[in-house]
Amino acid sequence: MNKTALKTAVAGVALLSMMGWAQAETVRVTVAEYSSKTGPYFEEAAKAFEEANPDADIQIEVVPWDVLLQKLTTDISGGANADLSIIGTRWLIDFVDQGIAAPLDDHMTQDFKDRFFPVFLEPSVMQEKTYGLPIAASARAMYYNKALFEQAGIEEVPDTWDALAEAAEKIGALGDDIAGFGLQGKEIETDVYFYYAFWAYGGQLVEEDGTSGLDTDAGYKAAEMYKSLIDSGATQPGVTSYNREDVQNLFKQGKVGMMITAPFLSNQIKEEAPDLEYGVAAIPAGPDGDRGTYGVTDSIIMFENSQNKELAWKFLDQLFTTEWRAKFTSGEGFLPVNPEVAEQPAFADNADLKEFTALLPDARFAPVIAGWEEIAATTSDAVQTIYLGNGEPKATLDAAAEEINGILGN
Amino acid sequence: MNPKLKKSLLYWALLSPLIVLILFPFAVMFITAIKPANEVLSPTWWPREAAWRNFIDMWAVTNFGNALWNSVYVSVLSTLLALAVSIPAAYAMSRFRFTGQGFFRQFLLVTQMLSPIVLVIGLFRLVVWLGLLDNVNSIVFVYGAFNVAFTVWMLQSYFSTIPKDLEEAAWIEGASPAKALVMVFLPLALPAMTVTAIFSFINAWNEFVIALTMLRRQESYTLPIQIFSLVAGRYTVEWHHVMAATFVATIPVAIIFAWLQRYLVRGLAIGAVK
Amino acid sequence: MIRSPLTNPYVLILPGFLLAAFIILWPLYQLGTISLNDVNRFGQLRGFNGVENYVAVFTDPDFLGALWRTFIWTGGIVFGTLIVSIPVAMILNEDFYGRSLARVIIMLPWAVSLTMTAIVWRWALNGESGMLNSGLQGIGLIDQNIQWLARASTAFPVQIMIGILVTIPFTTTIFLGGLSSIPDDLYEAAKLEGASRWQTFREITLPLMKPFLNISIVLNMIYVFNSFPIIWATTQGGPANSTDILVTYLYKLGFRFGKLGEASALSVMMFVLLLAFTILYVALAMRRERT
């Protein structure tokens, strides 16, 4: 038994002895609303926990994704934050820098750590301490419409961006309301949609010297490629009015040949457009064989000022058992972050999910930088300017890179 | 054709572009609300079959009843609160000349100018300090306070039109000022109070930013927040449910409006300029 | 006179004053403090730093763009509403068949929360699934889908139009009140003297309506300047900040980028700006009235 485990055990015993006389202890949990299933799932988990621990009171606070960061910010500034919260892992650095997130290592046993794929646990390790547990994970892959491919006479699923451009033009020629490649140009993750090509051309978000990588050949080429797709009519018209959900809707209607998005689209198609014939493939590679998918994890963190850390941890421990993980992951359409969950037939035999997990070695996570949201917004603005034709790719990206360098503190 | 009919046709024709624009979102709301799930994405103007079930499903899926109750609770209580503090203040403003009256008037104009979104960071700290976070009552207080300026202003201009002689006559007959106020003055002021109450109610019913910041759990959400949460950053948006919820949320206020519309005009006419 | 708390004006205004002051001035004081401090993204103060936050806001090019657009936005909606509401109120003031129905319809947008209106419009303006495009195609006005929200040149005018639509009910109601306060004999006298309709409007209606016009302009200015949901729900200020106004910029600054110090500074600046405008306008309007 190592030292940490011992401490945990001692603390656990102390807690148990307190439970005998303690009043009901409250643990507040802020959760992001991924879909209409999120709230009910956490309520159920809370109920099960309260049954096992009659003195505990778990309060679930469901918050829409769009306003999660705002709520957390105001909560923390007012000292009214919950005990546990789901956050985007890319925000974690700010929470750690300001001493708001509590390190979890003292609670974690080796056995607990082994429940996770290391690749997903890694992003929340900072200064050699673990500050968050991956609650949701997803990666991106390319969906393609088999019927449209057949109509346009495309036999091979494009594996490079050149091939994709060619295929997209063929599909775009099928009809006025058919587009070859669905390009997202609005709201959350507009920058990410640009990175897919940027990474393929060998780009890096932050160069080794700590400056932005947008003002490199990779950036210019990716932007020019997207712009030429727009100009040749291979994408849907008016890309800057389409957010991720809008492009997905086009795909579900069979109006788009290819698009890049997360595993949850499969779930939606199953429910809303069961007749759609589609496939999932890797994101195309660049001329030198580079390719990258975007890996996203959301983490659940514990707040440093929580009064009930032990009980909160106990609830986390329940959430990360195989049974509860499997339920959450399949309900929301995320990737399994736990090997035991991944081995369950529902996940292991899912062909779509396999494509996503196969991409994981290429997965890039949002860099761990304070102020990342602002950098992402600057990038989104720049690519929107290019898509609209209001600025030359090179000049626009150079200006954006300069602004980002300012944020990075260079 | 009689002249009035001719005039009516002309006026309706003149108004028609505006009416079309106004009714358009309602049509969109209603038609989307009754489309079956698999037809929502195609922009047809009439669904192949009306899926009335959407309303029932929506009620359950969106936690509608609860949000409706919260909205009613918040709107009614904040209106009562605003009226309770505004009636005496407006009475004082219309009946007495006193030092500091100008200051109070300016103070009201300033509070009128601050929108909740500008203040939200400070407001949040206040609510936390009071320990009222995630408590619908905090919203009641904030809405009440934000409505004070408007209600005082509306009421005092109306009160000024009620002749002072009436109360003075009551005083001479031996009624206490309190009795005179309740028996003579307030009944006369009832229409103005009704109009003012409607305004307060609607402001509270529609408010968004404060509720979004102060309310944490779904059990305490008001309608605008509940509906916003159906479209904000979800991985998929069930537009037919959103529109059904919007439609149902709109009906009660629309009915109040249709019913009280003539009083509204009269009340505002007096309130606005005096 | 009988002594009673009810005859003491200070007692009477006290509850209203306290409630409003407590809930409005206290947060304002907080904002002022935050704006003069170095503050981390969670609102914890890290020491006094003078006007640095203000300078940071001023030197941000996005701020100037948003400021300029706020003027267009506020001016466009207030003026547009005025232009539409005056004739509408004059029509609704006449006696014609179905007037109550027409009044109810014109008032209808008032009954819907701005957030919901904006959400509905966002859906209606959707390029492929939106019913505006299919409606316009149906009546033959356009033959190709327009991507309304794709660029500022179409998105911003549409947003202003929505703003006008939701501002009309309140404005029209005030004007209706004003019109009904104009005595009929004035019009009859004008008719007897052979005044044309236009003359009657200019010489009688407009001057008598002036106080009502003024009040509606001041109030609308305040409301529109602070209006957040329409732009936020349709474009979030995009693409590339091209539809940002000050309130959406404020929201991004404070809650997206976590720059609470700058956001508070901006809040204070917006407040001062609005105050200055209102005072200016009220002073101007009153002077003109006096002469």
Q: Are A251 and A141 in contact (CB under 8 A)?
A: no
Report whether pLDDT(A145) > 50. Answer: yes
- The end-to-end CA distance of chain B, in Å, is 43
* Total CB pairs under 8 A between chain A and B: 75
Quote the pLDDT of residue B269: 59
Q: Is the peptide bond before C239 cis (omega within 30 degrees of 0)?
A: yes
Quote the pLDDT of residue C4: 65
In 3-state terms chain B splits into helix, strand, coil percentages (rounded to 5) of 80, 0, 20
What percent of chain A stands above pLDDT 70? Answer: 94
Contact between chains at B125 and A70 (C-beta distance less than 8 A) = no
Quote the pLDDT of residue A292: 81
Of B85, B78, B200, which is closest to residue B136 (Cα–Cα)? B78
State whether A102 and A169 are in the same domain: no
Catalogue the E-assigned strands of A53-117: 56-64, 84-88
- CATH number, domain of B197, equals 1.10.3720.10
Minimal C-alpha gap between B31 and chain C (Å): 10
Minimal C-alpha gap between C149 and chain B (Å): 17
Gyration radius from chain B CA atoms: 23
Quote the pLDDT of residue A119: 82
Best mutation target, C62, C128, C145, C228, to test chain A (most A CBs within 10 A): C128
B2 found inside a domain = no
Across all residues in chain C, what is the average pLDDT? 85
Contact between chains at B235 and A35 (C-beta distance less than 8 A) = yes
Contact between chains at A177 and C256 (C-beta distance less than 8 A) = no
- Pinpoint the alpha helices (H) of C181-253: 184-192, 197-200, 206-225, 229-234, 246-251
A290 found inside a domain = no
Q: Are B143 and B210 in contact (CB under 8 A)?
A: yes
Minimal C-alpha gap between C149 and chain A (Å): 5
State whether A248 and A396 are in the same domain: yes
Minimal C-alpha gap between B142 and chain C (Å): 6
What percent of chain C stands above pLDDT 70? Answer: 95
Contact between chains at C106 and B22 (C-beta distance less than 8 A) = yes
Q: Does C44 contact chain B (CB < 8 Å)?
A: no
Both tokens assigned to C290: 């006096």
C5 pLDDT tier (thresholds 50, 70, 90): low
Contact between chains at B45 and C87 (C-beta distance less than 8 A) = no
Minimal C-alpha gap between A57 and chain B (Å): 15
* pLDDT tens-place string over residues A241-280: 888 888 998 999 899 999 999 888 988 898 888 899 999 9
State whether A273 and A382 are in the same domain: yes
Q: Which of A191-195, A335-339, B130-134, C275-279 has the highest mean pLDDT?
A: A191-195
Query: Which residue shows structure tokens 């035991």?
Result: A340
Q: Are C75 and C220 in contact (CB under 8 A)?
A: no
Contact between chains at A74 and B212 (C-beta distance less than 8 A) = no
- Tally of domains in chain A: 2
Alpha carbon separation from A151 to A63, A167, A171, A178 (Å, rounded): 43, 11, 8, 12
A385 pLDDT tier (thresholds 50, 70, 90): very high
* pLDDT tens-place string over residues C61-101: 889 999 999 999 999 999 999 999 999 999 998 888 988 88
Best mutation target, B15, B46, B107, B113, to test chain C (most C CBs within 10 A): B113
State whether A110 and A226 are in the same domain: no
Quick one: how far is CA A392 from the chain centroid? 30
Of C278, C284, C286, which is closest to residue C211 (Cα–Cα)? C286
Quote the pLDDT of residue A52: 92
CA angle A334, A275, A245 (to 5 degrees): 45
Q: How many CB atoms lie within 10 A of CB B10?
A: 12
Which has the higher per-residue pLDDT, A5 or A69? A69
| Helices B136-160, C9-20: inter-axial angle, 10-degree rounding | 140
State whether A261 and A401 are in the same domain: yes
Gyration radius from chain A CA atoms: 23
A287 found inside a domain = no
Cβ neighbours of residue A204 closer than 8 Å, sequence gap 6 or more: A213, A218
Which has the higher per-residue pLDDT, C112 or A5? C112
Catalogue the E-assigned strands of C20-67: 37-39, 45-48
- Which of A128-137, A384-393, B44-53 has the lowest average pLDDT? B44-53
- Tally of domains in chain B: 1
A19 pLDDT tier (thresholds 50, 70, 90): very low
Out of B133, B237, B238, the one facing A80 most closely (by C-beta) is B133
Quote the pLDDT of residue B274: 43
In this structure, are strands A363-365 and A56-64 parallel, antiparallel, or unpaired?
A: unpaired
Q: How many CB atoms lie within 10 A of CB A307?
A: 11
- Mean pLDDT over A163-178 rounds to 91
Q: Does C105 contact chain B (CB < 8 Å)?
A: yes
A10 pLDDT tier (thresholds 50, 70, 90): very low
Task: Give the 3-state secondary structure of residue C38.
Answer: strand
State whether A146 and A134 are in the same domain: no
Q: Give the integer Cα–Cα distance in Å for A97 and A368.
A: 11
Chain A positions in Cβ-Cβ contact with residue B232 (cut-off 8 Å): 64-67
The ipTM (two decimal places) reads 0.84
Q: Does C28 contact chain B (CB < 8 Å)?
A: yes
Q: Which residues constitute the domain of residue B266?
A: 70-273
B15 found inside a domain = no
DSSP letter string, C144-189:
S---TTTSHHHHHHHHHHHHHHHHHHHHHHHHHHHHHTS-HHHHHH
Quote the pLDDT of residue A380: 92
C112 pLDDT tier (thresholds 50, 70, 90): confident
Q: Does A70 contact chain B (CB < 8 Å)?
A: yes
State whether A277 and A149 are in the same domain: yes
Q: Which amino acid is at A173?
A: A
Which has the higher per-residue pLDDT, A292 or A29? A29
B57 found inside a domain = no
Neighbours of chain C (3+ CB pairs under 8 A): A, B
B10 found inside a domain = no
Both tokens assigned to B258: 């249709």
Best mutation target, B118, B229, B264, B268, to test chain C (most C CBs within 10 A): B118
Both tokens assigned to A256: 């788009």
Domain range C61-290, its CATH number among 3.10.310.30, 3.90.1150.10, 1.10.3720.10, 1.10.3080.10 = 1.10.3720.10
Quote the pLDDT of residue A169: 93
* pLDDT tens-place string over residues C192-239: 888 888 888 888 888 888 888 888 888 898 889 988 889 988 888 878
Domain ranges of chain C: 61-290
State whether A29 and A123 are in the same domain: yes
In this structure, are strands A84-88 and A25-33 parallel, antiparallel, or unpaired?
A: parallel
Q: Does A71 contact chain B (CB < 8 Å)?
A: yes
Q: Are B267 and C180 in contact (CB under 8 A)?
A: no
Across all residues in chain A, what is the average pLDDT? 87
Alpha carbon separation from A76 to A129, B134, C35, C138 (Å, rounded): 22, 14, 18, 52
Both tokens assigned to A6: 């011992």
What is the signed CA dihedral for A332, A333, A334, A337, rounded to 10 degrees? 90
A289 found inside a domain = no
State whether A243 and A384 are in the same domain: yes
Best mutation target, A30, A34, A59, A66, to test chain B (most B CBs within 10 A): A66
A291 found inside a domain = no
Of A185, A145, A164, A172, which is closest to residue A232 (Cα–Cα)? A172
- CATH number, domain of A210, equals 3.40.190.10
Nearest CA in chain A to C148: A241
Q: Does A55 contact chain C (CB < 8 Å)?
A: no
Neighbours of chain B (3+ CB pairs under 8 A): A, C
Quote the pLDDT of residue C176: 86
Best mutation target, A90, A189, A240, to test chain C (most C CBs within 10 A): A240
Q: Which amino acid is at C124?
A: A
B259 found inside a domain = yes
DSSP state of C252: I
DSSP state of A260: E
Quote the pLDDT of residue B233: 62
Residues of chain B with pLDDT under 70: 1, 233-235, 262, 264-274
- The end-to-end CA distance of chain C, in Å, is 40
Q: Are A291 and A199 in contact (CB under 8 A)?
A: yes
What is the signed CA dihedral for B138, B142, B144, B147, rounded to 10 degrees? -160
A20 pLDDT tier (thresholds 50, 70, 90): very low
Of A73, A50, A70, A74, which is closest to residue A60 (Cα–Cα)? A50
Q: Give the integer Cα–Cα distance in Å for B175 and A242.
A: 70
Alpha carbon separation from A85 to A243, A257, B76, B90 (Å, rounded): 26, 38, 33, 47
* pLDDT tens-place string over residues A319-359: 999 999 999 988 888 888 888 888 888 888 888 888 888 88
Q: Hey, which residues 144-203 in chain A have their CB within 8 Å of chain B?
A: 188
Contact between chains at A187 and C238 (C-beta distance less than 8 A) = yes
Quote the pLDDT of residue C67: 94
Minimal C-alpha gap between A111 and chain B (Å): 33
Nearest CA in chain C to A81: C42
Q: Which amino acid is at A252?
A: K
Quote the pLDDT of residue A49: 95
Q: Which residues constitute the domain of residue A165?
A: 141-282+369-408
Q: Which residues pair with C208 in a beta bridge?
A: none
C6 pLDDT tier (thresholds 50, 70, 90): low
* pLDDT tens-place string over residues A46-75: 999 999 999 899 999 888 887 788 788 878
Quote the pLDDT of residue B270: 58
Q: Does A250 contact chain C (CB < 8 Å)?
A: yes
Quote the pLDDT of residue A21: 42
Query: Which residue shows structure tokens 């961006």?
Result: A161
